[in-house]
Amino acid sequence: MRYKYSFLTKTICLSILGTLFSILKSNAQDTLPTRYVGYRLQLIDFEQVKKSGNQIKLKCTVVNTGRFSVKLDGKSLPKIPLVLDADALSLKTLNLENQAEVICKQARLQKVNLEPGGMIPRFTIHFVLKEKNKIEPTPTSKRTTENNDAALTNPKSPAPVVSTPISVAITPVTPKTPPASVEMTEIAKDTSDFVDDRLTCADLTLEDLKVLSLTKKNMELEFTIVNKGVGEAPLFGTKKGKEDNIAIQFYLSSSPRLTRGALPLEGIYLTQGLETTKGKLAAGGRYRQKVKINIEKANQFSKVLILYTDNFDVLRECDETNNEAHIIPDWRFDK
């Protein structure tokens, strides 16, 4: 009899431990950040259908912008390392940009079966609005109630302290783009070099983007780098190698702004031209460049080509927020 009870107890304990392990595994999969390894869904074109209290119903378009098929059963969290991005600009029009994390979590529990480049229009997501800095009610014992009453009637009694947990909403972040209101003092490292930076800083921008030719594999593009600062910009760096040359990175995106969901293409280092000035672009100077890039990753949902200059921040500029430019090519291929 003792053996039977011992065996039964061991079986129950193992079952409970297995259940706890499954719960912890699901929570970890739901909260830990996922690195992109080929599985990615993007949520775009959000539309608010209904709102009742803090419950919201949205419609959106789901696009598979990854390299592999994505299949979600709608019953449990995905077993694949899935990156799921919500278009920040689309959510901002609905004042829901701080709800991206909640929306993506709900989308992971929906039924999806998409090949690379495939889409699901009018995709429905229900979620409960997550309030920022919401104060959660704490359980109040009889003794705590008495202490609170004493604090109200006796001024010498200390007031009760309320603990306020802070809810942090994760939203898609534009890479390396500081706020538009950046002051010059934020760029300077310290007070001693602030005056020198202000008098000598360069400021690179991208202008006059033009597609010269376009095939299913490659695009020939021409663009101009303009120095709008007050100092010269060493485009080719000061070292023998390319590591401190100015770099240009290319992306494909569904919107004109660079977001985390953008598809990186390839990048180039500036290495040719400006021989008379030893690679330095003077204040007010213009530098025309022609490049050929591979665009085989292009699809019908990522039609915006974005260029980002000084991708590795090797040059301190007067304004670090204007290094980005975009063009929407005519995707009718020459061949």
Q: pLDDT for 74-112, tens place per residue? A: 877 777 888 888 888 788 889 898 899 899 988 988 889
- The reported pLDDT for the residue numbered 299 is 82
List, as own/partner pairs, every contact residues 31-39 make where C-beta atoms lie below 8 angstroms and the sequence separation is at least 24, other chains included.
34/81, 34/82, 34/83, 35/81, 35/83, 36/66, 36/83, 37/81, 38/66, 38/67, 38/68, 39/66, 39/68, 39/70, 39/80, 39/81, 39/82, 39/83
Q: Are residues 211 and 310 located together in one domain of the fold?
A: yes
Please indicate, yes or no, whether residues 297 and 198 belong to a single structural domain of this protein. Answer: yes
Tell me what pLDDT residue 19 has: 55
d(CA 225, CA 207): 6
Q: What is the pLDDT of residue 14?
A: 63
- Percent of the chain clearing pLDDT 70 (strictly above): 68
DSSP 165: P
Considering the domain architecture, whether residues 124 and 197 belong to the same structural domain is answered as: no
The count of structural domains within the chain is 2
Q: What tens digit of pLDDT does each residue of 18-62 get?
A: 655 554 444 433 333 456 777 888 898 899 999 888 899 999 989
**Are residue 209 and residue 77 in the same domain, yes or no?**
no
Q: Are residues 253 and 125 in the same domain?
A: no
In this structure, the answer to whether residues 323 and 188 fall within a common structural domain is yes
Each residue's pLDDT tens digit, 284-328: 999 999 999 998 888 878 889 999 998 778 888 888 889 999 999
Residue 141 clears pLDDT 70, i.e. is over it: no
Residue 191: band (very low, low, confident or very high) from pLDDT cuts 50, 70, 90: very low
Q: 161 pLDDT exceeds 70?
A: no
State whether 293 and 209 are in the same domain.
Answer: yes
Q: Do 190 and 287 belong to one domain?
A: yes
Residue 10 within a domain = no
26-104-306 Cα angle (round to 5): 130
Q: Rounded to 5 degrees, what are φ and ψ at 205? A: -130, 160
**Domain for residue 81, yes or no?**
yes
Q: Which residue has the higher pLDDT, 194 or 22?
A: 22
The verdict on 201 and 105 lying in the same domain is: no
Domain-embedded: residue 333: no
Structure tokens at 265: 């293409």
Residue 48's domain comprises 37-132+166-172
Residue 138 lies in a domain: no
Please indicate whether residue 190 or residue 207 has the higher confidence score (pLDDT). 207
Q: Is 246 exposed, middle or buried (0-12, 13-18, 19+ CB in 10 A)?
A: buried
Does residue 23 belong to any structural domain of this protein? no
- Whether 271 maps to a domain, the answer reads yes
The answer to whether position 179 is within a domain reads: no
Average pLDDT, integer, range 265-280: 85
191 lies in the same domain as 119 = no
Assess whether 112 and 209 both reside in one domain: no
Look at residues 48, 49, 54, 105 and name the one whose alpha carbon lies nearest to residue 82.
105
Q: Is there a domain that residue 161 lies in?
A: no
Question: Which CATH number goes with the domain that contains 200?
Answer: 2.60.40.10
